[in-house]
Amino acid sequence: MTNSKGYADAVMGLQWGDEGKAKIVDLISDKFNYDYTIRVQGGANAGHTVVHREKKFIFHLIPSSILNKNSISIIGNGVVFDPKIFFEELGALKSFDKNVDKRIFISDKATLILPIHKKIDITRDEILKIGTTKRGIGPAYECKVARVAIKLFDLITGDWVRKLKLLLQYYGIDDEDVFKENFKFIDQYVEKLLPFIEDSERLVFSVLKEGKSILCEGAQGAALDIDFGTYPFVTSSNTIISSVFSGGG
């Protein structure tokens, strides 16, 4: 993917995941000095392992190029985002780079994963026997398609409380305890997340216009694509090259 100045490359899996994408991203982001890396789809169901200078890192959300201190990482709009996992990973990276939080942004259009999504995921998988990671990925994408998801821009506008009520109504849940649980989960992260939230497609456009380079990182693999994989034993997003355009901004 190119424009008159900048360009973007992609690392995608062609099997069922576990192809070593993270190792390749870590290697080439440093070797070819990519200015930015974007994680384009999936959620914390991915497990990307990198051994960098004899130290092991496992990334579920943060792009694997984060260990390249000259590169800026973006979690794209196609990702379903778990703030708990994000801050756990960010905390672990602090020992490697105390300024790592200055090198990562999250798309304002990324979809928030809530405790209710995880509970629904667990309950459904007991029936469907798909073998999900039970991290709420599928239900979060479901809410996105149903237009009841909470996006990160809702944390900026403050509209997330209204949308949380709408989301629970969509699932037919009228339980004050469930509302309080999910409210508290979101509320504890709002102020922490605000500095990371960015209009990612505007950022991508400006980066390419400036002649800079972008590396796009996919999760899972083509055989798990929601449309072209081994359905129904697939993930909940498109894992093929098209996700670079729709999920990377």
Residue in this structure with the two tokens 């849940």, named with its chain if needed: 173
Say whether the peptide bond before residue 232 is cis (omega within 30 degrees of 0): yes
Q: Is 48 a catalytic residue?
A: yes
Among residues 18, 97, 174, 227, which one is catalytic? Answer: 18
- Which residue, 69, 59, 97, is CA-closest to 217? 59
Question: Phi, psi (5° rounding) for residue 201?
Answer: -70, -35
Do 239 and 13 form a contact (C-beta atoms < 8 A)? Answer: yes
Which three-class secondary structure state does DSSP give residue 248? helix
Among residues 26, 48, 60, 225, which one is catalytic? Answer: 48
Q: Is 18 a catalytic residue?
A: yes
Phi-psi group of 149: left, alpha or beta (phi > 0 → left; psi -120 to 50 → alpha; rest → beta): beta
Strand 55-59 relative to strand 48-52, pairing: antiparallel
Which three-class secondary structure state does DSSP give residue 221? coil
Active site residues: 18, 48
